[in-house]
Structure 1
Amino acid sequence: MKKLGVAVIGTGFWGRNHARVFKELEETELLAVCDINAERAKAVAKQFGVKPYTNVGRMLKRKDIEAVSVCTWSTSLAKEALKALKAEKHVLVEKPMAANTKQAEKLIETAEKQGLHITVGFLMRFIPGVQHIKTAVKKRTIGDIVCATAKRVSQWPERIGDVGVVKDLAIHDIDIMRHLFNEDPIAVYAKTGRMLHRKYEDYAHIMLTFKGGKNAFIESNWLTPYKTRILTVTGSRAIMKLDYITQRLTVEDSKETKQPRIPWKEPLK
């Protein structure tokens, strides 16, 4: 089987994870990593036995690199992803993909024009429990959907420096709600604010309204003293609750509470 030659742009906390997974997957061959921090690029390259770069353009000239992951600061994701697309590479770009819709649309247009694939790193979709809930919603095994609620809270992450809590945390749950209901909301209400941090919002309360009266509620913050990642979907016949951290899924109806045995799976894979 021919492996897909890949490279990673950005070798910070999350870029290292991308590099590790590409190294472990049977379908991919990690060939290079790139970072403006030369020492960090060298360290990650040495860890995985690949070539380090500090210049993206030079790395993208390699013909054996067919796809790249872009894991830079959020504000530079679109710029680096566009470079890769123009170099005729398929792109996996970390969320939030771009700083605004104009940048995002430019990436999509470029990928389509070049005949390339571009996808955003919304990893929560690939957690087995989410896939079980998605199937239940589609088949209506839990009845008519009343609402979905997501709670994604924790302390301030030191690695964050260029976005607020909406683009860091809430964005995952906005994507999941659209994914579960397979449609865009028809109305959005949101309240964000700053309690401890001066530059960016550190809490967000969001309500999404979908066709047919379905609602989704999202709570995100960087203020809570412990980390919680919970998704609850309420149907007319049953309620499904997923703990993203443990990947434990609970299904409750009028007669019993069940916990399906679902193997834990790394969403990056």
Structure 2
Amino acid sequence: MGSNDLPRGAVIGLGMMGRHHARILQSNPAMRFAGAVDPGGDRFDAVLDGARVHATLDDLLSAGEAPDFAVVAVPTEEHLPIVRSLATAGVHVLIEKPLAATVDEARAIIDVCAEHGVVGAVGHVERCNPALRELRARVLDGQLGDVFLVATERVGPFPDRVRDIGVVKDLATHDLDLVRWLGDAPIERVAAQTQHRMGREHEDLVLVTGRVENGRAFNSVVDWLTPTKVRRTRVLGERGMLVADTLAADLFFYANAHVPTGGWPEMQARRGVAEGDMTRYAIERREPLAVELEEFVAVLGGADATKVVSLAEGLETVAVAEAVLASAASGETVALTGSAS
């Protein structure tokens, strides 16, 4: 296949995420760059050719050959109108997470993509993190035996880029999607607490506990208040625990063991399950965003669509996020089964 046969991708929004999509589109040999749209211009100098930066989507679509696909990296509340315009023009869409600001808007995005026959996917990029992919493969392969718990921690300082949503729909949607993916079942119920400590309309801390439909428990801790950045996911099972540090793309396995304490009953009681060997795995590391774009482009060419996050899965995550907020507001556990259908 010649370079002119490669799919042409555009970026809508050149902010914190869009600028990185633009960088990859301009350098990755699996795709071509069709231009970018941002009414504020290219403030991060992400586009090499300034003539390819447009103020409006109409300008991009009328500038010449239409893109084959577009990355939608605008504020969440603008996803639906942008996707509607792109789908009407026959442009496939990779939509930055969360899929939409509300369940109703997420359903509308699904409907408009189906109406115009375009492929849509959601950019839950953590699924492309090499440590998490390796972790999931090992869990599905039975390394842990029966799985008890999926736990995530995503904390750090406030990101000034966020204006339109709180920590639940921005950061915690990463974790809610990961719980479903790593837990291998939809989330069944949630109980949540939130905090508002920064004087904003939206919450800046959330604690979520719950269960997925196969009975596994989960908990997630997410905030914009912690002065150091932590991204940690662990899966606990009968044979030990897998722990992923997704900032470093490192994966560790902590095995259970049965080691006698040599007639020292106090120490045996204190330690409980004996600590076994700890293994740090060697993992091939590639930039998750590049992998995400490559796999989306491959789907456009007919590859296995299960490699990308479907619009239906994106809808499911938005529904769970709304249930988390409802639980925090009511102080009660909220059931989700069938709520996103």
Fold match (TM-score > 0.5): yes
**Change beyond 3 A, Cα 1:165–1:225:** same
**Change beyond 3 A, Cα 1:97–1:237:** same
Map 1:53-202 to 2 at 5 A. Answer: 53-61=54-62, 62-202=64-204
Structure 1 spans left out of the alignment, 5+ residues: none
What is the CA-CA distance between 1:48 and the residue it aligns to? 5.0
**Residue 246 (structure 2) aligned to one of 226, 236, 244:** 244
Asked if residue 10 in structure 1 is aligned to residue 8 in structure 2, the reply is no
- Quote the RMSD (CA, aligned, Å): 1.6
**Residue 253 (structure 1) aligned to one of 236, 255, 259:** 255
Does the 8 A contact of 1:33 with 1:44 survive in 2?
Answer: no
**In structure 2, C-alpha distance between the alignment counterparts of 1:132 and 1:256, rounded to whole Å:** 19
**In structure 2, C-alpha distance between the alignment counterparts of 1:156 and 1:38, rounded to whole Å:** 24
Query: Residue 233 of structure 1 corresponds to which residue in structure 2?
Result: 235
Q: 1:105-164 deviations in whole A, cap 9, x for unaligned?
A: 111122122221111110000111111121122222111111011000001111111111
**Change beyond 3 A, Cα 1:169–1:50:** same
Structure 2 spans left out of the alignment, 5+ residues: 257-275, 291-341
**In structure 2, C-alpha distance between the alignment counterparts of 1:206 and 1:78, rounded to whole Å:** 28
Map 1:11-50 to 2 at 5 A. Answer: 11-38=14-41, 40=43, 43-45=45-47, 47-48=48-49
What is the CA-CA distance between 1:30 and the residue it aligns to? 0.6
Which one has more relative contact order, counting CA pairs under 8 Å at least 6 apart?
2
**In structure 2, C-alpha distance between the alignment counterparts of 1:80 and 1:29, rounded to whole Å:** 21
Give the strand-richer structure, 1 or 2. 1
The alignment-based identity, stated in percent, is 28
Amino acid at match of 1:265: R
**In structure 2, C-alpha distance between the alignment counterparts of 1:73 and 1:169, rounded to whole Å:** 14
CA radius of gyration, larger in: 2
What is the CA-CA distance between 1:39 and the residue it aligns to? 5.6
User: 29-38 vs 220-229, which deviates more?
Assistant: 29-38
What is the CA-CA distance between 1:217 and the residue it aligns to? 0.4
What is the CA-CA distance between 1:56 and the residue it aligns to? 0.6
After the TM superposition, which segments of 4 or more aligned residues of structure 1 sit over 6 Å from their partners?
none
**TM-score w.r.t. structure 1 length?**
0.94
Corresponding pairs, count: 267
What is the CA-CA distance between 1:49 and the residue it aligns to? 6.1
**Residue 267 (structure 1) aligned to one of 280, 285, 288:** 288
User: 7-16 vs 205-214, which deviates more?
Assistant: 205-214
**TM-score w.r.t. structure 2 length?**
0.75
What is the CA-CA distance between 1:50 and the residue it aligns to? 5.6
Does the 8 A contact of 1:33 with 1:50 survive in 2?
Answer: no
What is the CA-CA distance between 1:71 and the residue it aligns to? 0.7
SS of residue matched to 2:145: coil
**In structure 2, C-alpha distance between the alignment counterparts of 1:192 and 1:50, rounded to whole Å:** 45
